[in-house]
A and B are shown apart, each in its own frame.
Chain A
């Protein structure tokens, strides 16, 4: 028996369509993307090509005529584009972020209209941030006031640091519709450049950025831009509520960007170490180097497991996304930032030279990826959000509350996902987090107990118990969160990642027979790393595991994505 896991096969098809990225004559190639980065030029023709190939259909729910039925597929697409180039991926995928509030809270007419715009290849942007207010959306100054037409609004103000601010046809804009303080004073509007009136809405200067230098990171100035009643998303005063729900989906859906970046960086690390002669041998033959590669690969697998569970939870556990999204978005980009940094240590001077080693791609992916942990809610913002649910998470864990079937569907790749129901999202999760709450069962599961060394399970078990004792006793005394809350959030993320690894392995191990699954190799590496990150003393015996994993060089050149799951999986169908 094998698993019908479609995304991998679709990814292979797309890779074939896009061509060999090392070939400078290929449109969407590494050499071209490096040149665009150097000259800070937008990848217009590459994005147009992706439009022609039909990528925007993955941003539109099936219910509105697109191909977005689940996030396995969408995530795979994002990951695939990202491992060629993050600038392109972030620029193109932004349309999904701009449209998501409408899929979550818009009327059917709004959604159908916007779907037509997206499918026609128009970029959509999300206008939230303003100059000098950082993540503090409640300080929004852009104002919408009643216009001349009944029900219409006129917008004045400026949005800043907006991805595709100059290019977007529609900017989903957060505005103040009441002078009062608090979230009910804010609304989300669809501002259509084609309808906003000449001069009513203009893009502002491109902002030079640390990474994704070619992207259109700019701003939008509104000088009396008009929006009709059909442009209000989710109702006046519902802006923050709508956003909080839409961001749950987008925050999860952006994390595959990190997997693509990790894939690039790690592959550069393997290539360099395998080809490099040093100290009279190949670099990769030094155990310490091989261990570093193995640890980086294990970190990628940990991130992948969290992303996969997160993406599948959108369909399988939609009520719990307020927790899942905060966890995954805080966790995955941080892990991958560190992974890239660690690979850079192996590359030495080639980590920061622009034209050496595959054209200096490493320094680009390192710079580019840093934005993933910042946009769409930074790590700190997500940890802050998670902390707001600490005491409930502690209680639900103790009560062993568990959506057992939802977890099984999320973890078992052979099971079809239920339809996408974005209206079921909630700003808080009454059930807590079933993935984490499954941990006591998983740690006692006979198959897992037979497979994972008892000492490792004990470390994880203690860490989980200790954390939840802290959470159950969590009292907010008013005022700002103490710093310790951010450490607890991080530990919660590690528990989620541990559960994700255990679940994916437990529900699929009988069907996957590749080397990585033999004797649970990837799982043991992943759990060892997680235990260490949870504060366990490093286990010297684990070195051999990592060294073995570090010896598994991916196919040189342009192979399938680095993944727990083999590319041949689809061929087994």
Chain B
């Protein structure tokens, strides 16, 4: 019998021990030491092996523990709050690669990969080529049919865990001309390939953040792969990637929230202990404000990613939109928040060792988390054509989302990978909720004039956005105008605002998440041209007690408020 999510969270937290304890083999001192040396965090990985961490992203029907993505995210955050590089370095590649298998693999392929992962094996995700970056549609590595084999030529670069993976999910060009069916996903058994001279591992890529993550590369020179080693159907590479990435582009930013949670704890710890005059620096209103702003940003990012994760279960045909918006906005907000906290730490931020040395590591580790796996502008570009469909369909006759989307403690149906789609086809229940239920939302905020004002501002922005998008020329030649990206940015913020409002409405009115204070702050910070006014000190004062009590009680700063 599998343990429940709270039981697993507790077990993992207890196993990780007190991070501040100097001789904790998986504590801060150890994490900083492996970061300095750029080595894999062996002690941390052994602990995760013992916990059976990889089972968290193997679906339950294949023998794993994955029933709800939001639960998997919570478990991964427990690691990521300590060390984001451990969380991603240990199994990020396996998560991405195996998600492709759950999405497109045959039952036999799924079984085999599930067994491999549950047995402690690693899978690498071979998508990236430095020359093409996010433009996977032009990836060059080729696989040419020759009888009953595929002949592989070309290279993949900056691939996490490649050198120690058992299996490589490889994205290859298998057809001409270039188009939606010109690529396929292949399964390359790296253990069988040992000693084959037609395949060569490239030297490791070193990085400024996530230094313990082993980024490698591989070069094929006429390597022969049995033709049956195609994942899903031949020519389905783009389709599978587009579908599977909706899961990973939601889950990885969701896990990255842990980096801000960890950084905020460091900042709180410094601010409440560093003396200034007769008090501490956390007594300064500006310091409190920076801390509270980061807290609010974390709540926003968590609301957006958690609702996004739930949408994958509840609305799998619509998640191309929300996953792209999350991939754009959440890393941006997380990194902005940690950069802002770094100014509060002053020179302490700049020191790589000592009591607060973890802070700079959190900052360095978050940057790759944001840029990896599709850059922000590419994410925005994906939204523009979808918005043009929405203006004709989902926005003109909006349908609200199933309220379960926002009731975070409510159970979810299994994730149906096969229902993930190439496009949302003009449907958007998350944005639609904002449009269809605007009256009910404003009524729920009736008691708070400031909240009503800021909700009204978002509704007005949505109306203006719809008009602007409606006026965009239908067909286009050449690259998107720069202003289209601004529209996609605004749309992403509206979706995040809708997620926050949904979480607020879906929670118990007496709880913190049901209070107007956090929502008002969250929505204010989501406006495009956020300009703090006279109310900034008042707002800070209204949220500081919650932040402070969570810090003192060692509880996480995200929505779930777990023991930290």
Q: Are B158 and A349 in contact (CB under 8 A)?
A: yes
Q: Are A484 and B371 in contact (CB under 8 A)?
A: no
Q: Does A288 contact B (CB under 8 A)?
A: yes
Q: Does A506 contact B (CB under 8 A)?
A: no
Q: Are B346 and A288 in contact (CB under 8 A)?
A: no
Give the interface size class of chain A. 35 or more
Assess A348 versus B134: contact at CB under 8 Å? Given A134-B281, A208-B351, A481-B285: yes
Q: Does B551 contact A (CB under 8 A)?
A: no
Q: Are A353 and B377 in contact (CB under 8 A)?
A: no
Q: Are A139 and B482 in contact (CB under 8 A)?
A: no
Q: Are B532 and A370 in contact (CB under 8 A)?
A: no
Stretch from B205-213, B309-317, B512-520 that touches the partner? B205-213
Q: Are B537 and A286 in contact (CB under 8 A)?
A: no
Q: Which residue from A211, A287, A373, A481 sits with its C-beta under 8 Å from B343?
A: A373
With a cutoff of 8 Å between Cβ atoms, the chain B residues found around residue A367 in the complex are 208
Q: Does B372 contact A (CB under 8 A)?
A: yes
Near B by CB (< 8 A), chain A positions 331-347 give 337, 341, 344-346
With a cutoff of 8 Å between Cβ atoms, the chain A residues found around residue B344 in the complex are 380
Q: Does A207 contact B (CB under 8 A)?
A: yes
Q: Are B372 and A349 in contact (CB under 8 A)?
A: yes
Q: Are A380 and B343 in contact (CB under 8 A)?
A: yes
Q: Does B51 contact A (CB under 8 A)?
A: no
Q: Are B353 and A352 in contact (CB under 8 A)?
A: no
Q: Which residue from B128, B281, B371 sits with its C-beta under 8 Å from A351?
A: B371
Stretch from A106-114, A145-153, A273-281 that touches the partner? A273-281
Q: Does A483 contact B (CB under 8 A)?
A: yes
With a cutoff of 8 Å between Cβ atoms, the chain B residues found around residue A373 in the complex are 343
With a cutoff of 8 Å between Cβ atoms, the chain B residues found around residue A485 in the complex are 286
Chain B 123-161 interface 0/1 with A at a Cβ cutoff of 8 Å (1 = within)? 000001011111100100000000000000000001000
With a cutoff of 8 Å between Cβ atoms, the chain B residues found around residue A354 in the complex are 205-208
Q: Does A565 contact B (CB under 8 A)?
A: no
Q: Are A370 and B342 in contact (CB under 8 A)?
A: yes
Q: Are A288 and B529 in contact (CB under 8 A)?
A: no
Q: Are B376 and A345 in contact (CB under 8 A)?
A: yes
With a cutoff of 8 Å between Cβ atoms, the chain B residues found around residue A540 in the complex are 483
User: In the bound complex, how far is the Cα of B205 from the Cα of A277, in angstroms?
Assistant: 22
Q: Does B283 contact A (CB under 8 A)?
A: yes
Assess A288 versus B284: contact at CB under 8 Å? Given A352-B209, A537-B529: no
Q: Does A535 contact B (CB under 8 A)?
A: yes
Q: Are A374 and B346 in contact (CB under 8 A)?
A: yes
Assess A139 versus B207: contact at CB under 8 Å? Given A129-B347, A280-B138, A535-B529: no
Most buried by B among A278, A290, A352, A355: A352
**How far is the CB of A276 from the nearest CB of chain B, in Å?**
8
Q: Which residue from B128, B206, B275, B350 sits with its C-beta under 8 Å from A210?
A: B350
Q: Are B350 and A209 in contact (CB under 8 A)?
A: yes
Q: Are A483 and B531 in contact (CB under 8 A)?
A: no
Most buried by A among B342, B484, B528: B342
With a cutoff of 8 Å between Cβ atoms, the chain A residues found around residue B376 in the complex are 345
Q: Are A352 and B368 in contact (CB under 8 A)?
A: yes
User: In the bound complex, how far is the Cα of B348 from the Cα of A487, in angstroms?
Assistant: 23
Closest B residue, CB atoms, query A546: B482
Q: Are B377 and A345 in contact (CB under 8 A)?
A: yes
User: In the bound complex, how far is the Cα of B372 from the Cα of A352, in angstroms?
Assistant: 10
Q: Which residue from A280, A349, A366 sits with its C-beta under 8 Å from B128?
A: A349
Q: Does B339 contact A (CB under 8 A)?
A: yes
Q: Are A538 and B486 in contact (CB under 8 A)?
A: yes
Q: Does A356 contact B (CB under 8 A)?
A: yes
With a cutoff of 8 Å between Cβ atoms, the chain A residues found around residue B364 in the complex are 210, 352
Assess A348 versus B133: contact at CB under 8 Å? Given A161-B347, A210-B352, A354-B207: yes
Q: Does A132 contact B (CB under 8 A)?
A: yes
**How far is the CB of B103 from the nearest CB of chain A, in Å?**
24
Most buried by A among B207, B343, B347, B352: B347
Q: Does B42 contact A (CB under 8 A)?
A: no
Q: Are B479 and A371 in contact (CB under 8 A)?
A: no
Q: Are A480 and B284 in contact (CB under 8 A)?
A: yes
Q: Are A483 and B537 in contact (CB under 8 A)?
A: yes
With a cutoff of 8 Å between Cβ atoms, the chain B residues found around residue A281 in the complex are 479
Q: Are A363 and B128 in contact (CB under 8 A)?
A: no
Most buried by A among B286, B372, B531, B540: B286
A residues near B, CB below 8 A? 129, 132-136, 139, 161, 207-211, 277-281, 285-291, 337, 341, 344-346, 348-349, 351-356, 360, 363, 366-367, 370-371, 373-375, 378-380, 480-487, 532, 535-538, 540, 543, 546-547
